[in-house]
Amino acid sequence: MKKIWTVISILVVLMVAIVIVMGNPFSETASNQRSFKKQVSHIGEAAQMSLNDVTTFEWDKVYSFVPYTSKDEIAKIIGFNSNEIQETVNEGMEQLLFVKDNRVVFSICGYASNLKFSVHLGEYEGRYICLYRLDNPLFDLSRSSDIITLTYIAKK
């Protein structure tokens, strides 16, 4: 009986550690991430598309930050702190924060080769770029090998 409790305890500790390191797989942001990846991967051969077409969740703004922007600076720019804020550790990483009503509803921080997509909001004129859902931002779509790239071109 003692052996069973030891195994159960180890499994519980392991599950808690996974949630701490990787995040809650049942959270709103995790669900939105799965939805976004699914929508992006099912994009047809359209040459242009709206970002609103691949987001099945509600959002007001989407931010992208220059590489190495600190969590504190990101929180200051978006106006609140969140556990979803991550720092990029390399210039080749994707980083997007979708915000709705002062909370992060979806975040991306990773390499395009792992994500299988890349989203470019434009050229940085400062430390970040911000686009608004109401502007219905339009993107060019391109594919190279197994990566889908969305590049901002205008408001729709």
Q: Using one digit for the tens of pLDDT, what is the confidence trace for 112-145?
A: 888 888 888 888 888 899 999 999 898 888 888 7
Q: Specify the pairing of strand 128-132 against strand 117-120.
A: unpaired
Among candidate residues 148, 138, 135, the one with its CA nearest the CA of residue 50: 138
Q: What is the DSSP letter of 1?
A: -
pLDDT higher for 86 or 9?
86
The pLDDT tens digits for 81-102 are 998 898 888 888 888 999 999 9
Among candidate residues 65, 48, 105, 59, the one with its CA nearest the CA of residue 82: 105
pTM of the model: 0.73
Provide the residue type at 117 as one letter: F
Sheet of 104-111, strands arranged across: 104-111, 93-99, 61-65, 128-132
Q: What is the DSSP letter of 20?
A: H
